[in-house]
Amino acid sequence: MTRISTSWRSRAGAFANGLLTVPALAVYAGLLVVPVGFAVYYSFTDYNGFPSQTPTWVGLDNYERIAQDPIGDLHPSIWVTVAIAIVGTLLVNAAALGLALLLRRTTPFNTVARVVMFYPHVLSALIVGFLWQAILGPQGAVNNVLEGGGQSTLPFLADPQWALATLIGVIVWAQFGVQLVLYLAGLQAVSPQLQESARIDGANGGQVFRHVTWPALAPTVTVTLVTTVLSLLKVYDVVLGLTNGGPGDATQNWAYEILAVSFANNDIGLACAQAVLLVLVAGLLSFTIIALRRRAEEGAEAIG
Amino acid sequence: MLVNITDNLTQEKWEALVAPFEEETGIDVEIEGPTGQSVAESFPALLASGTAPDVIQSIFPSEDTAPEILDLTDYEWAAGTPMSDLYSTDGKINVVGVGMQAQSLLYYNADLFEQAGIAEPPRTWAELDAALAALDEAGVATPIAFAADWATGVQAQQLWHPQQNLTTPGWQQSVADGSSTLGEQFEPLFEHLASWIDAGYTTADDVATDSGTQEANFIAGDVGIYPMGSWFSTTLAASPPDFEVGVAAAPVDDAADYPGPMGATMAYPYMVWNGTEKADDATALVEYLVTDEAAIATQAEMDHFTREGTDTSSNEYASLVQEVTDKAPSLAVPGNQTVGDHALPVAGFNPKFTELVQGLWQGAEPADVAADLTAWYDAESAG
């Protein structure tokens, strides 16, 4: 009798625990699985998104259009996206890690400096774009100063290559604050005893960083790399505010093509196909980074 | 009512505009600004979610949205509204407005013209080339100003409307039926623009400078010629320059044809959502907005437009525009027209045109830009 009662209680407990996950599951399914499911479905249709049109099944037509790129606008946007993702990820992480090392000690100055460094991330990305346009535009603050000093102006936003470089720089400025916080948190977890031991053994600052701090930061580096790549792959607001994709199509990235071109032209099928590919690439890149970083993280665990 | 809210057209002004209608009819009008960047961006999202407003202002129906818009053809007042014929499809009217906004205008600094020895505003493309050369020679910083984003494409088209519509009247239909291509239509314009860029009359900085800044440059006296629509006269009236401003129609090839057809768009377009439960109230409001004399006068104060009988005496620049448009032999709708028999059967013309034409400032060849434009049209029209 006692055994039956225990078993019943155990099953009832499991059922109750299962019930507790239902709200989270419902939110997850409602806000993620269902919309993504619709996006995947629409990606195989010709649809303008309006009630008067029923989505028409077109199979792989939207994906073929992306592959063939008859107008020659989608493939260049891939290269812009790749440039932003690779160069941006390197710069964001270099800036964030470098500043985290400088600001790791808790002093009044460092506390203020951390807030200042994080501040760009608090601003709306669209406002960041407009702000830097006012600073770096042909008649912006920087060029006015140059002109006032008798120097020739610089084509930050007027030349295609300069505009892309400027865009990456502004994105880095707007995004590195979060990674800085992650690196600061990661540095707090690095064992001071190990660093001290290394110094006692005669290691200089560079050697301590290379052989103790950097390996111990491996899990943090993995997180910052993944989050940076994901946010840079889908960056849109800064592009809109700073260059609006120009000059010409020089700074049109994949997200811009989805939101400002395909969706704007009510080409929902093509936009969804582009979005599905972006989700796949983002997922693939995330898993690849995590897999590649596994060995480094195992090393960190060994140190820890 | 979903309306355009901008510097000129504020929420307060819209509310004041509809207040007499509310008082007279007892119908409550709720003014709503766009949730996105613009009405054009917000309306499709509202339609898709089934929460579209009863009346939509500032945008036109497109091939995609037309089935969602109420047919106004049976309302007697609709046929009498300005430009309703140019915006109708097979005689069916689904958008009405209060007037016309002229597109093909050259605002020029008459003082700089005098300094450069230019006696008369240019009537032909050759005279325009000569005027720009003279302004350049006289040391004018920017003989002709173009601006970034949407403005580059719009300004280029504004310059070209008169000659384009002389060469190929109803050119959109020629492109649609395959007897012409977009590239053929615009390549001569691209050659003119490329020659100005080569000569340094306009630089890559221009197409990275927003239109507000370029307008300020013109008002500051740094610009010889600024191609822009009639709405610029409202800006000029708000910040009058300390030099004499002239307004001329965009040029044509042969002086005998001057002035050519005037590029024009419907001012204050209104349309009614056909899913509305208050169709009678919505159409009554639109009728009031496009036919009531006081409402029309209020809208003219908010943003300039041309309409027979409109008093422009309070705005000297609007009077100049009115003089030019009165002389135009006909009106021609632009390439980004999205509704009616003169609409190109593709979406997104202006953004793509702007993107491609900006390539000229980056050294692209006119023939290549024209070929890209044709390729884009072919791909889009093929679906």
pLDDT of residue A2: 55
Contact by Cβ (8 Å): B333, B264: yes
What is the residue-level pLDDT of chain A in tens, covering all 304 positions? 555 667 788 888 888 888 888 999 999 889 889 999 999 999 999 998 887 788 999 999 999 999 999 888 899 999 999 999 999 999 999 999 999 999 988 889 988 998 888 888 888 899 999 999 999 999 999 999 999 999 999 999 999 999 999 999 999 999 999 999 999 999 988 888 888 888 888 888 889 998 889 999 999 999 999 999 999 999 999 999 999 998 999 999 999 999 988 988 889 999 999 999 999 999 999 999 999 988 877 766 666 5
pLDDT of residue A290: 92
Q: Compute, in degrees rounded to 10, the torsion defined by CA atoms A226, A231, A234, A240.
A: -160
Both structure tokens of B57: 């202002």
Return the residue in A139, A243, A252, A270 with the most chain B beta carbons within 10 A, the one to mutate for interface testing.
A139
d(CA A81, CA A257) in angstroms, rounded, equals: 11
β-partners of residue B108 are B225, B246
Cα angle B238-B241-B246, degrees, rounded to a multiple of 5: 100
Which one-letter DSSP state was computed for residue B35?
S
pLDDT of residue B35: 79
pLDDT of residue A6: 73
**What is the percent of chain B where pLDDT is above 90?**
75
Binary contact (B351, A261; C-beta < 8 A): yes
Find the residue in A nearest to B349 (Cα).
A265
Q: Smallest Cα–Cα separation from A139: which of A127, A121, A151, A157? A: A157
Could you say which of A138, A247, A260 has the minimum Cβ distance to residue B362? A247
Could you say which of B47, B62, B358 has the minimum Cβ distance to residue A247? B358
Give CATH for domain B104-263+332-381: 3.40.190.10
Q: Smallest Cα–Cα separation from B227: which of B330, B109, B144? A: B144
In the block, residue with structure tokens 């599951």 = A25
Sign of CA dihedral B316, B321, B325, B331: negative
Binary contact (A49, B44; C-beta < 8 A): yes
Domain boundaries, chain B: 11-97+269-302, 104-263+332-381
d(CA B73, CA B272) in angstroms, rounded, equals: 12
H-helix or E-strand spanning residue B226: strand B223-227
d(CA A99, CA A91) in angstroms, rounded, equals: 12
Return the residue in A38, A42, A47, A52 with the most chain B beta carbons within 10 A, the one to mutate for interface testing.
A52
d(CA B309, CA A91) in angstroms, rounded, equals: 62
Binary contact (A50, B47; C-beta < 8 A): yes
- pLDDT tens digits for range B205-261: 999 999 999 999 999 999 999 999 998 998 999 999 999 999 999 999 999 999 999
DSSP-derived 3-state class of residue B28: coil
Contact by Cβ (8 Å): A269, A43: yes
Could you say which of B40, B204, B347 has the minimum Cβ distance to residue A159? B204
Q: Smallest Cα–Cα separation from B208: which of A274, A188, A239, A242? A: A242
Both structure tokens of B174: 């020629």
- Is B351's Cβ below 8 Å from some Cβ in A? yes
Both structure tokens of B241: 């320059």
pLDDT of residue B243: 97
Contact by Cβ (8 Å): B97, B268: yes
Please state, rounded to an integer, the average pLDDT across all residues of chain B.
Answer: 92
- pLDDT tens digits for range B168-190: 998 999 999 999 999 999 999 99
- pLDDT tens digits for range B44-74: 888 888 888 999 999 898 888 888 999 999 9
**Confidence band for B157, pLDDT divided at 50, 70 and 90:** very high
d(CA A290, CA B59) in angstroms, rounded, equals: 48
Binary contact (A265, B347; C-beta < 8 A): yes
Return the residue in B70, B203, B361, B369 with the most chain A beta carbons within 10 A, the one to mutate for interface testing.
B361
Does A35 sit behind a cis peptide bond, omega within 30 degrees of 0 on the bond before it?
Answer: no
Does B259 sit behind a cis peptide bond, omega within 30 degrees of 0 on the bond before it?
Answer: yes
In the block, residue with structure tokens 């811009």 = A256
- Is B41's Cβ below 8 Å from some Cβ in A? yes
- pLDDT tens digits for range B269-321: 999 999 899 999 999 999 999 999 999 999 988 887 888 777 777 789 999 99
Q: Smallest Cα–Cα separation from A74: which of A241, A283, A247, A256? A: A256
Instruction: Please report the DSSP string for B138-192 in residue order.
Output: TT-SEEE---STHHHHHHHHHHHHHHHHHHSTTHHHHHHTTSS-HHHHHHHHHHH
Binary contact (A250, B207; C-beta < 8 A): no
Sort out which chain A residues have CB atoms less than 8 A from B149's CB and list them: 244, 246
Sort out which chain A residues have CB atoms less than 8 A from B204's CB and list them: 155, 158-159, 247
d(CA B250, CA B105) in angstroms, rounded, equals: 5
Q: Compute, in degrees rounded to 10, the torsion defined by CA atoms B122, B128, B134, B135.
A: 90
A71-303 has CATH 1.10.3720.10 classification:
yes
- pLDDT tens digits for range B327-354: 999 999 888 787 888 888 888 899 999 9
Binary contact (A265, B205; C-beta < 8 A): no
Could you say which of A53, A73, A138 has the minimum Cβ distance to residue B208? A138
d(CA B3, CA A284) in angstroms, rounded, equals: 43
Mean pLDDT, to the nearest integer, of B72-97?
92
H-helix or E-strand spanning residue B105: strand B105-109
Both structure tokens of A211: 């052989």
- Is B67's Cβ below 8 Å from some Cβ in A? yes
Binary contact (B355, A246; C-beta < 8 A): yes
DSSP-derived 3-state class of residue A93: helix
Contact by Cβ (8 Å): B192, B125: yes
How much is the pTM?
A: 0.87
Both structure tokens of B383: 């679906």
Superfamily of domain B11-97+269-302: Periplasmic binding protein-like II (3.40.190.10)
d(CA A6, CA A29) in angstroms, rounded, equals: 34
pLDDT of residue B370: 97
Sort out which chain B residues have CB atoms less than 8 A from A52's CB and list them: 67-68
DSSP-derived 3-state class of residue B252: strand
Which one-letter DSSP state was computed for residue A209?
I
Both structure tokens of A159: 């030349």
d(CA B199, CA A19) in angstroms, rounded, equals: 74
**Confidence band for B164, pLDDT divided at 50, 70 and 90:** very high
First to last CA, chain B: 33
d(CA B229, CA B219) in angstroms, rounded, equals: 15
Q: Give the ranges where B267-358 is alpha helix by DSSP (H).
A: 279-291, 293-302, 316-327, 349-358
